[in-house]
Amino acid sequence: MTTTAKPKRRRVKFTMEGNEESQVFVAGSFNDWSPTKNRLKFKEGRFSTSVLLPKGRHEYKFVVDGDWCIDPQCAEWSTNDHGSMNSVVTVD
């Protein structure tokens, strides 16, 4: 009998500062770039959420009140097909 090991996954926390009245989501290669799937919650002056990601390189953006923006605290960015930048997180 052959068993396949589940790919390793890691919980990644996405955070950003913002106006408490805003709606903030994270969209990326890990959720088919859905602008409404992963909502960040506001607590103690910051928005945050955790997403379980498989091993590998993932590109993402924040969607703040419908506007797409990079993560200003992310150290790695990549140019996308739209001529703008995506933030990058790598799960080891």
The domains of the chain, with CATH numbers, are: 9-91 (2.60.40.10)
pTM of the model: 0.88
Model confidence at 70, in pLDDT bands (50, 70, 90)? very high
Model confidence at 8, in pLDDT bands (50, 70, 90)? confident
The average confidence (pLDDT) of the chain is 93
Q: Cα(19)–Cα(1) distance, rounded to whole angstroms?
A: 54
Largest distance between two CA atoms of the chain: 54
Tens digits of residue pLDDT in 14-56: 999 999 999 999 999 999 999 999 999 999 999 999 999 999 9
Model confidence at 2, in pLDDT bands (50, 70, 90)? low
Identify the weakest region by mean pLDDT among 4-13, 49-58, 76-85: 4-13
Determine the Cα angle at 13 with ends 11 and 17, to 5°. Answer: 170
Structure tokens that stand for 56 in this block: 């590998």
Place of tokens 């590998």: 56
